[in-house]
Amino acid sequence: MSKNANHDAIAQAAMAAMPRAYAPYSQFQVGAAILDENGIIHTGVNVENAAYPQGSCAEAGAIAAMVMAGGKAIQAIAVSGRGDLLCTPCGGCRQRIREFATSDTPVVICGEDAIKAEFTLGDLLPHNFGPDNLD
């Protein structure tokens, strides 16, 4: 487990969400959990669609849940997926996360039952473009 209790909490939430994903085509279920600036955890899962481009990622679902609940900043995010390889956010989700996070925001990567790795968003999306670029 992580040395950070918040990371453990979001990891557990992401792992608990993962089996609820709707992935009838790929069978690749993903769960995500976000800790917002108010200390609230928001979860999401991937939702596939027969018209493949219309599906949505778990991270996008968790971000939408955070925004709907009034959250405006990601303090940390966890992503959970099955398999031996790390299930890191896709490129599009890295940019979606960046909209609400900074380069220092922790990104916790989990398997089915444990944390596998921890990064910062800057590690995953170096030299990123975000809201501060438009100031």
- CA gap 117, 52 in Å, rounded: 29
Residue 85 has a pLDDT of: 97
Is residue 117, in this structure, part of any structural domain at all?
A: yes
- Looking up tokens 């398997």 gives 111
The pLDDT of residue 128: 93
Q: What is the pLDDT of residues 34-75, one digit of tens each?
A: 999 999 999 999 999 999 899 999 999 999 999 999 999 999
The pLDDT assigned to 2 comes to 64
Confidence band of 135 (pLDDT split at 50, 70, 90)? confident
DSSP β-bridge partners for residue 41:
35
Domains: count for the chain: 1
Q: What angle do CA 12, 116, 65 make, to 5 degrees?
A: 40
End-to-end CA, the chain: 38
Whole-number pLDDT of residue 27? 97
Structural domain contains residue 118: yes
Question: Does residue 135 belong to any structural domain of this protein?
Answer: no
Which residue range is the domain that position 91 belongs to?
5-130
CATH number of the domain within which 64 lies: 3.40.140.10
- E-assigned strand segments in the chain: 30-36, 41-45, 74-81, 106-110, 115-120
Q: Please identify every residue annotated as catalytic.
A: 59
Residue 22 included in any domain: yes
For the cut 90, the answer to whether the pLDDT of residue 1 exceeds it is no
